[in-house]
Amino acid sequence: MEVEHTLRRKWVGIVSRSHANRRSFNYFLFTLPALLLYLGFFIYPSILGVLYSLTDWDGLSKSYHFIGLDNYFAVFKDVRFGQALIFTFKYTIIAVILKIALALGLALLLNGNIKFRGFMRSVYFFPAVLSLITVGLIFNQIFYTILPKIGEQLGIEVLSKNILGDPDTAIFGLIIVNVWSGIAVPMVIFLAGLSSVPNDLHEAATIDGANSLQRFFSITLPFLIPMLNVNLVLSIKGGLTVFDSIVAMTQGGPGTATESIAYLIYAHGMNEFKFGYATAESIFIFIMIAFISFLQLKWLNKKEVGQL
Amino acid sequence: MKAKPAAQAFRYSILALGMIIIMIPMYLTITLAFKTTEESTKSFFSLPSSLYMGNIMTVIKKAGFWTYFQNSVVITIISLLLIMILVPMVSFAISRNFQKPYYKFIYYLMLAGIFVPFQVIMLPILQYTSDLNLMNHAGMIIMYVTLSLTEGIFLCVGFLKNIQFELDEASTIDGCNIWQTFTKIIFPLMTPITLTIVTLNSLWIWNDFVLPLILLNRSADVWTLPLFIYNFQSEYSFDYNLAFAGFFLTMLPIILLYGYMQRFLISGLTEGALK
């Protein structure tokens, strides 16, 4: 009797344990497709990238040599890379400030009770659904053919020159296009944040005699800090890897005036047969972006702990 | 709170100005697509006197617009279907086993993708996919699903924290295995976040230019729409009416879809952003 009981308890234990094992094995199966894809097509190519960056490979020939860190030293000495770095930072700073400021302004204007709110939101969001390559090509045609002809007809000197044809102004052509198409998403994120600001706080502050500027800085803005962080992270990463609009509009030119780092990597790796060298450049921008994202996340966490 | 009339007028005029700035390039694209060259040299901004279909027909017939449209549709839809199954699945397993080291590890491993810009793998996957014979639509789909994992898992695991574990346990007691618990209970509850992920990824995949440029630029019949319009423009840039007809046709599917789904689209993005 006693023996039988122990046996049965043991049996139940085995059954439920094998049941639990099967459960955890099934959970493991759930992760498998995603994990295999991620290891095979993200982690492995990243490791390959690091390896290639240590070689003199041109991307075509059958053999290549490991040359240690030579590519990295060469990148540091490369004037063209330095220029691309300066261009990328200049572009990022101007584009991020314009995007965030305009997106915030528009979100504030579109928030609350206004007429045609749904319609206006749809129009303002519209650029976000278009591909940047198409938008870039459209603006390219506008800058190249339409604006100069209008400038001629009206006799306006400034318009009659193609903004993309001058090394000093081409960057602003790119910024115009990216701001035109890149405001919508941060604007929607700000709108989402604005809808979380409690209305009674505003009313209480109005009763206490705060003007609209004071209300904005002491009530609205603190509620928007998380959205501001998200938008900063997204648009800084977008700015540092700017590529599509450059391919569509300037091809890095005139000369090398609008070569961003991402464009330079593409040009070196695909067209100029400096494959190993280009991967070293890509590792460089990886370190740069990882460092900047790390700083942002740290700052963001601090803000959240410190209650805005 | 009643705002002053002057302030309101200011607000509406700024908003109207902004809308004009957004609409002008669109207006030019649509009207120039239907004009002959002679007509558009006279005035860029006039409405077309008649709907001249020559440009549009050239893009459709000579340039093979339909093929590229179909390529884009196939790649986008298959990628989205895989994403909306795989991402919730792995997120479910991670969120229900987060105390175990394996699941914690793969979660952080996949989140680490946030720090890696696409440029790092751009050149390696060029070599890698050509070795594996994946410079085709299958390779594109594999890459899109892979690249969607980081953001998707981040959003889904965050969402799943708010779905109580008691639901899983109750369904287990009722005799459901994990697959049934997932398909019958958890997956339906994840609809809002799945829709957000599908929205974000559909915009990205449909409009993406870099990946087709790397993987598909070798043979014209596999191009997607963004790659087509880029190559079309470099071939026909001398005839800008034709170029604008190409831009117009490339944008037309998304314009129609947007007209139909815009409210849902904006709310889908907003919900994702709030999480």
Chain A positions in Cβ-Cβ contact with residue B237 (cut-off 8 Å): 141
> What is the distance between the alpha carbons of residues A191 and A185, in angstroms, rounded to a whole number?
10
End-to-end CA distance of chain B: 30
Q: What is the mean pLDDT of residues B7-17?
A: 88
Give the three-class secondary structure for A189: helix
Do A271 and A133 share a structural domain?
Answer: yes
> What is the distance between the alpha carbons of residues B265 and B268, in angstroms, rounded to a whole number?
5
Do A290 and A141 share a structural domain?
Answer: yes
Q: What is the mean pLDDT of residues A112-130?
A: 85
Q: Quick: pLDDT tens for B75-90.
A: 999 999 999 999 999 9
> What is the distance between the alpha carbons of residues B20 and B2, in angstroms, rounded to a whole number?
27
> What is the distance between the alpha carbons of residues B27 and B84, in angstroms, rounded to a whole number?
36
Q: Quick: pLDDT tens for B195-250.
A: 889 888 988 999 999 999 999 988 888 999 999 989 888 877 777 888 888 888 88
Q: What is the mean pLDDT of residues A281-296?
A: 87
Q: Quick: pLDDT tens for A217-259.
A: 888 888 888 888 888 888 898 899 999 999 989 888 788 889 9
On whether residue A172 sits in a domain, the answer given is yes
Chain B positions in Cβ-Cβ contact with residue A130 (cut-off 8 Å): 207, 251, 254
Q: What is the mean pLDDT of chain B?
A: 86
Do A248 and A135 share a structural domain?
Answer: yes
- Cα B28 to Cα B9, B22, B240, distances in angstroms: 28, 11, 11
> What is the distance between the alpha carbons of residues A264 and A250, in angstroms, rounded to a whole number?
13
- Give the pLDDT confidence score for residue A222 in this predicted structure: 82
Determine, for residues B90 and A192 on separate chains, whether the beta-carbon distance falls below 8 Å.
no
Do A288 and A157 share a structural domain?
Answer: yes
- Give the pLDDT confidence score for residue A10 in this predicted structure: 60
> What is the distance between the alpha carbons of residues A108 and A187, in angstroms, rounded to a whole number?
9
- Give the pLDDT confidence score for residue A11 in this predicted structure: 59
As a whole number of Å, the CA-based R_g of chain A is 27
On whether residue A53 sits in a domain, the answer given is no
| pLDDT score of B272 more than 90 | no
Q: Assign B270 a pLDDT band (cuts: 50, 70, 90).
A: low
Do A83 and A33 share a structural domain?
Answer: no
Q: Assign A301 a pLDDT band (cuts: 50, 70, 90).
A: low
Q: What is the mean pLDDT of residues B133-158?
A: 93
Q: Quick: pLDDT tens for A134-144.
A: 999 989 888 88
On whether residue A56 sits in a domain, the answer given is no
Give the three-class secondary structure for A220: helix
A34 touches chain B (CB under 8 A): yes
Domains contained in chain A, number: 2
Distance of CA B255 to the CA centre of its chain: 13
Predicted complex ipTM: 0.87
Chain B positions in Cβ-Cβ contact with residue A226 (cut-off 8 Å): none
Chain B positions in Cβ-Cβ contact with residue A247 (cut-off 8 Å): 209, 213, 230
| pLDDT score of A305 more than 50 | no
Do A278 and A195 share a structural domain?
Answer: yes
Do A83 and A31 share a structural domain?
Answer: no
- Searching chain A, which residue's CA lies closest to the CA of residue B110? A38
- Give the pLDDT confidence score for residue B38 in this predicted structure: 77
Chain A positions in Cβ-Cβ contact with residue B177 (cut-off 8 Å): 23, 26
Q: Are B217 and B129 in contact (CB under 8 A)?
A: no
- Backbone CA torsion sign across B84, A194, A290, A127: positive
B206 DSSP assignment: H
On whether residue A284 sits in a domain, the answer given is yes
| pLDDT score of A4 more than 80 | no
Residue A156 falls in which region: left (phi positive, over 0), alpha (psi -120 to 50) or beta? beta
On whether residue A59 sits in a domain, the answer given is no
Q: Are B149 and A37 in contact (CB under 8 A)?
A: yes
Q: How many CB atoms lie within 10 A of CB A97?
A: 11
Q: Quick: pLDDT tens for A11-39.
A: 555 556 666 777 788 889 999 999 999 99
- Give the pLDDT confidence score for residue B1 in this predicted structure: 47
Q: Quick: pLDDT tens for A34-54.
A: 999 999 999 999 999 999 999
Chain A positions in Cβ-Cβ contact with residue B250 (cut-off 8 Å): 131, 134
Do A122 and A220 share a structural domain?
Answer: yes
A35 touches chain B (CB under 8 A): yes
Residue B36 falls in which region: left (phi positive, over 0), alpha (psi -120 to 50) or beta? beta
What is the residue range of A229's domain? 79-305
- Give the pLDDT confidence score for residue B166 in this predicted structure: 81
Q: Assign A8 a pLDDT band (cuts: 50, 70, 90).
A: low
Q: What is the mean pLDDT of chain A?
A: 85
Share of chain A above pLDDT 90, in %: 33
Do A267 and A164 share a structural domain?
Answer: yes
- Give the pLDDT confidence score for residue A35 in this predicted structure: 95
Q: Quick: pLDDT tens for A139-191.
A: 988 888 888 888 877 777 777 778 888 888 899 999 999 999 999 989 988 98
- Give the pLDDT confidence score for residue B165 in this predicted structure: 81
- Can you tell me which residue has the tokens 């991967």? A279
Return the CATH number at A214: 1.10.3720.10
Q: Is the peptide bond before A254 cis (omega within 30 degrees of 0)?
A: yes
| pLDDT score of B260 more than 70 | yes
Do A4 and A132 share a structural domain?
Answer: no
State residue A75 phi and psi, 5-degree precision. Answer: -60, -40
State residue B100 phi and psi, 5-degree precision. Answer: -85, 140
Do A256 and A143 share a structural domain?
Answer: yes
On whether residue A70 sits in a domain, the answer given is no
**Å between A74 CA and nearest CA of chain B:** 18
- Searching chain B, which residue's CA lies closest to the CA of residue A116? B12
Determine, for residues B121 and A26 on separate chains, whether the beta-carbon distance falls below 8 Å.
no
> What is the distance between the alpha carbons of residues A243 and B143, in angstroms, rounded to a whole number?
19
**Which residue in B89, B115, B119, B121 has the most chain A C-beta atoms within 10 A of its own C-beta, making it the best mutation to test that interface?**
B119
Do A123 and A5 share a structural domain?
Answer: no
On whether residue A231 sits in a domain, the answer given is yes
Among residues B148, B156, B76, which one has the least CA distance to residue B114?
B148
Share of chain A above pLDDT 70, in %: 91
- Searching chain A, which residue's CA lies closest to the CA of residue B233? A137
Domains, chain B, ordered by start? 5-52 (no CATH), 62-274 (1.10.3720.10)
Q: What is the mean pLDDT of residues B7-13?
A: 86
- Give the pLDDT confidence score for residue A308 in this predicted structure: 37
Q: What is the mean pLDDT of residues A122-137?
A: 90
